[in-house]
Amino acid sequence: MTETFEEMLEELRDIIRKLEDGDTSLEESIAIYERGALLVKRCEDLLAAAEMKLTELGRDR
């Protein structure tokens, strides 16, 4: 999972735009829907798993 959260959201918005477009074929609609559902799941998992991590930089380089 190398994409950033933004990239996944952007792809999701893209998928919705394509689904809204009547020219997208049924096969592609289903395929990209599956991809979209996966992205939603990944994003949600990412948010659910998020935990604050604290690190402190040393004062010397």
Partner 1 sequence: MMPGSHATSPERFGSPILRVSEVSGLICDLLDDPRLHQIWVRGEVTNYRDHTSGHRYFSLSEQGAGRTAVINCVMWRSVASTLSFRPKDGMDVLAWGSVEVYEPHGRYQFIVREMIPAGAGERHLMVERWKRELEAEGLFDPGRKRPLPVFPRRIGVVTSSSGAALKDILSVISRRYPVEVVVSPTAVQGEGAHTEIAEAIRRVDGLVDVIIVGRGGGSFEDLFPFNHPDVVRAVAACRTPVISAVGHEVDTALCDFAADLRAPTPSAAAERAVPERQEVLRELGGYEERMLSLVQHRLAAAQNDVDDLRERMHPRRLARRVHERMQRLAEMEERLERAAFGRLQRERSDLAELRTRLDAQNPLSVLERGYSIIEADGRVVRSARDLRPGARVALRMKDGRANAVVEEITYDRDF
H/E segment holding residue 5:
helix 5-20
How many angstroms separate the first and last alpha carbons of the chain?
32
d(CA 16, CA 32): 9
Among 1, 2, 6, 23, binds partner 1 (CB under 8 A): 6
* 16 near partner 1, rule: CB under 8 A: yes
Interaction of residue 26 with partner 1, rule CB under 8 A: yes
Question: Sign of dihedral through CA atoms 34, 40, 42, 48?
Answer: negative
Site residues (CB under 8 A) for partner 1, limited to 30-59: 30, 33, 36-37, 40, 43-44, 47, 50-57, 59
Residues that bind partner 1 (CB under 8 A): 4-6, 9, 12-13, 15-16, 19-20, 26, 29-30, 33, 36-37, 40, 43-44, 47, 50-57, 59, 61
